[in-house]
Chains A and B, each alone.
Chain A
Amino acid sequence: MSDPLSGPQSGPQSGPHVAGKRAEDIANPLFEYLLRIGDDRVVLGHRTSEWCGHGPMLEEDIALANIALDFVGQGSALLALAGATEGQGRDEDTLAYFRSEPEYRNVQLVELPKGDFAFTVARQFLFDAHSVLLWESLAQCPFAPLAGIAAKALKEDRYHVRHSSDWMLRLGDGTAESHERVQRALNNLWRFAGELFEVDAVDVAVHEQGIVVDMPSIQSRWNAMVSDVVTRATLTLPATGASATGGRRGRHTESLGHMLAEMQIVARSHPGAKW
């Protein structure tokens, strides 16, 4: 087994140009990068788990609980690797339960309340379509521990994206009510999708370490995948306008704090408790 602390090998020298903070100003970009993709999954896993016992039917209740578990498992592996990369003795539980809202690095898309079933389906779909493409790319990266997590998560997320695509189709091309609800969800979620494709100094810095993710290419493939499913579901792609931003820098909607309060209260009330 390779040493997770050894870090990635050196890679290409040039990265995408971004304005703002310079890559060399970030103390540990790999740690920061792993937190971002780990937090996306921890937060969405928690949101998805809120359906447990509340699904619209038994099979779907079970499916959402399974998917939530996959997300939490992926997030846990990524945060464990982030902690090892940081080297300050923080494990995945410390990172998940003892960071507050501004320290979370997830996109705002995943922290929004679960909404109705149509909202959950549409969010999963937009996220899943991005995830499979991201994992395909990261599975090829030279940092073996991350490539291993990515290759495994890719297999899980192939099932996820099929599940959420199926539901987009069923709801979009279903009854007038289901069509209206999923279209509304898509409209409300659209401005949050752009954050998934942001590239900043952290991405540039890890790119220089060999973790190369061609985000414009992922975005164009994502557009094609989303457009295909949305069209087949007889839905309309919303017009692209201003995009929500800030999650990667710890700026969140009001929803994340409430969610974290619930997620963290037991661990914070009884630090180190075991059962």
Chain B
Amino acid sequence: MVDRATPTKEEVLLILETVKDPEVPVVSVVELGIVRQVAIADRHVTITITPTYSGCPAMREIEQDIRAALSASGIDEVTIATVHAPAWTTDWIGADAKEKLRAYGIAPPGPAEQGGLVTIARRRAAPACPRCGSSNTDLQSEFGSTACKAIHVCRNCAEPFDEFKAF
């Protein structure tokens, strides 16, 4: 173990910026809003995270990745706490991160749903194709390769693509 000075919050956040979502490796767990809080007391670092979806299988891996990244910088006294409230929302993803998603081929999320229940198919604004930019796209399924994505097809360039769904 490296003998190091007590890390600062800024230092820890910089390290966490290098921890990417295993399913979406272009955005960090900080950019996604998974990391809610960093607290440091007597060299001990407590990181509070929140799950994206209740059953997201990536959460345990994310926890391990956070520990590994901090450990690589000599920070080993780490507690990771999980909170459910406030519930994670894609509204926490900033404009920069949304652009990274788009460039990676995933249409970024629109504003999260508010208000009453809609049972029959909601006709939300169609996401623009991340490849050609056309808004002439069709929803195939609101459940994609991971819980956080929906599947669409572009009618302009025929590209099938994921949308990071508004949540």
Given contacts A62-B145, A169-B121, A225-B117, 20 further A-B contacts (CB under 8 A): A45-B55, A59-B143, A63-B142, A66-B143, A69-B53, A73-B56, A129-B119, A132-B117, A144-B85, A145-B84, A148-B83, A148-B84, A153-B54, A154-B87, A155-B167, A158-B117, A158-B118, A159-B143, A162-B119, A162-B120
Kindly identify, within residues 160 to 193 of chain A, every residue whose CB is under 8 Å from any CB belonging to chain B.
Answer: 161-163, 165-166, 169
The main secondary structure of chain A at its interface with chain B is: helix
The main secondary structure of chain B at its interface with chain A is: loop
Q: How far is the CA of A155 from the CA of B55 in the complex (A)?
A: 13
Kindly identify, within residues 45 to 103 of chain A, every residue whose CB is under 8 Å from any CB belonging to chain B.
Answer: 45, 59-60, 62-63, 66-74, 76-77
Q: With a CB–CB cut-off of 8 A, which chain B residues contact A77? A: 54, 84
Q: How far is the CA of A60 from the CA of B119 in the complex (A)?
A: 18
Q: With a CB–CB cut-off of 8 A, which chain B residues contact A161? A: 117, 119
Q: With A69-B53, A162-B118, A232-B120 as known contacts, state yes or no: A152 contacts B84, CB within 8 Å.
A: yes
Q: Which of B87, B113, B121, B165 contacts A151 (CB 8 A)?
A: B87
Q: Which of B84, B121, B145 has the most CB of A within 10 A?
A: B84
Q: Check B119 against A225 for contact (C-beta < 8 Å).
A: yes
Q: How far is the CA of A107 from the CA of B65 in the complex (A)?
A: 39
B residues with CB within 8 A of A:
48, 51, 53-57, 81, 83-89, 113, 117-122, 140-147, 151, 165, 167
Q: How far is the CA of A155 from the CA of B85 in the complex (A)?
A: 12
Q: With a CB–CB cut-off of 8 A, which chain A residues contact B48? A: 1
A147 adjacent to chain B (CB < 8 Å): yes
- Nearest CB of chain A from residue B166's CB, rounded to whole Å: 10
Q: Check A70 against B54 for contact (C-beta < 8 Å).
A: yes
A259 adjacent to chain B (CB < 8 Å): no
Contact with B along A117-155 (1 / 0, CB 8 A): 000000000000100100000000000110111011111
Q: Which residue of B lies closest to A72 (CB)?
A: B55
Q: How far is the CA of A163 from the CA of B140 in the complex (A)?
A: 12
Q: With a CB–CB cut-off of 8 A, which chain A residues contact B113? A: 155, 158
Ordered by A's residue number, 19 sampled pairs between the chains whose C-beta atoms are within 8 Å are: A1-B83, A62-B145, A63-B142, A63-B143, A69-B53, A72-B55, A129-B119, A148-B84, A148-B85, A148-B87, A151-B86, A154-B87, A155-B113, A158-B113, A159-B143, A162-B120, A163-B142, A165-B121, A225-B117
